Structure 1
Amino acid sequence: MGGCSVLGRIWGVWRRRPGVRAVPKAPGFGTEAGHRLRPRGSSKRSRPLGGQPFPGLLQLENLSREELVDVLRAAVVDQKGKPGELTLFSVLPELSQSLGLGDQELQVVQASGKETSGLVLLSSCPQTASRLQKFFIHSRRAQRPTATYCAVTDGIPATSEGKIQAALKLEHVDGVDLVIPVKSPSRKDFQEGVKRTLSHFRVVAMGSGCALVQLQPLTVFPSQLQVHMVLQLCPVLGDHTYSARVGTVLGQRFLLPAESTKPQRQVPDEALLRRLCLTPSQAAQLPLHLHLHCLHLPGMRPGEAPMKLLAPLPSYFSRTLQCLGLHQQ
């Protein structure tokens, strides 16, 4: 597939050490892969979080533009035809030059939220980017998932598998864009920006009052997976925006009104803090445990078999699973 590249990207503020080696076939998080990211080792330019129990994270604010380009360039997992890569839009021109693309511009084909770890897909070929975008649009219309995420949730869903449907809208509240669920939306609501959203979930493992959950969005909306898990009363661990909407009284969880609940730092209970070996101040910096693990892509040429691209879990994510006794299947 000409002009297509993938890299292990983590979020807007923090970034884990990139994985770079592609292998022909490997087992993954409930799937088998055409290509898989594996750690190649730390870069001498990489600066780990000092004094933080979240291994594999970087402070981007401590990197220069040149160092950031080096980190991104090292994170390319697979290149077909013209190379490409991604993370912050501001350094894409430098990255393009560093990869020898000349005047060709990199385009973002597929990316998750800025705080989400995992795969990002770029292309330096407009035709390839257009083909992939059409593939993703067609797959959504057919309700065929192309992306699989894994998440650690604070709480365990009531059922082991199912679909989450919700009408969502984006509102600007106190200077922040927040996603708000809309009950019984009218036709006017949909005309004013309310969208129907749908995700599939499957519980992979449970332990210590938490769960390892596989998530497959069938629609695209900002923070869709985070909000959907809040609606299940199981916010994603490290969700410092929407988890406050889940209240607890006498051990029973319930939803607080989204319109009047302001974002605040997630506060795990004492038992969970002990299992994670975190202090309350460290928990306030807990990264979002939502990882774009797998992307399904069409074959490189007409008639060829589809591809699967896998990104391994960040080391802080794996540490959390170990602390909670959540074992991948």
Structure 2
Amino acid sequence: MIPVFDGHNDFLLRLLRDPANRQEIWNPGEGKGHLDLPRMRAGGFVGGFFAIYIPSPEELDSGDYEAIMDAPPYDLPLGALIGVDEALPVAMAMAGHLMWLERTGDLTICRSVADIRRAMDAGRIAAVMHMEGAEAIGEDLDALHVWHAAGLRSLGPVWSRPTVFGHGVPFRFPGGPDTGDGLTEAGKRLVKECNQLRIMLDLSHLNEKGFDDIAAISDAPLVATHSNAHAVTPSTRNLTDRQLRVIRDTNGMVGLNYATIFLREDGRKSTFEGWDPILRHLDHLIGVLGEDRVGLGSDFDGATMPASIGDVSGQQALLTALAQHGYGEELVRKIAHENWLALLQRTWGG
């Protein structure tokens, strides 16, 4: 079984929504959602980025989303900016759930690549604390240092709605990432402070001008933890070839998102059988970025999955499909985990 290190999941959001049942959700698992400890073991999932994310209070009913996003074209409204006072208690609760997972003895919050390797060797899930949207950090950036001390090692300045730091892309198909203004002055300061703390910056969800601002300011490799190729699926959330070349030139990385809306050429949310959409995106990403700069960024527990994957237990089937597609064993291992560990070494250092 090839170990899989994953670029993005929303498991903490599941725990946030049902905290009373978190032990059952984690282990032995309810059989719901995409992640729990037994299925992680079955799928070779050894670790990844666990997202702290603030839900929009005015989000559409999930049934509405399903219908709209399965009938392109669509252009979904974004929620309003959420202030730090509203976001902080939610973010703290999600961080608390991650720390509870560590207390179960089955997971380690990792602050270095050495931590990740030790957790993998010990058979514990290696978790990187990630913030998807920096609403829980104020413009003075003091909270960034608190979060770093708590274990934060990866941060996306925005989810799709705006923050005090910048602007995300709407959920629009078809569409491109050039959707608004770049980083605010506070956002530019955030980038520099993350560089000093060696917190990895995640470009997923960021609009094109914000992407370019980070590329101009940051001294770290550019990373999109869960994004796909715009040339294959023209969604606002996917990266253009120009953006991919910018990432390549910084020796950065992209994690393939399994979400059906970012894989299907028609932009629909409905699931699908087979591997062709995934293989088209991976072929394109590798063609532009090279074999050392592509990994996996599932979006488990945050998106609709291809039926062939289903949940985390299906990841070995995906790796088998890559091998059958002609990817050699060395490349499959790079995509599965080695590229992520090398990227984090370049970003975090020793």
Give the TM-score of the pair, scaled to structure 2: 0.26
**Higher-helix-fraction structure:** 2
Give the TM-score of the pair, scaled to structure 1: 0.27
**Higher-strand-fraction structure:** 1
Structure 1 or 2, whichever has the larger Rg, is 1
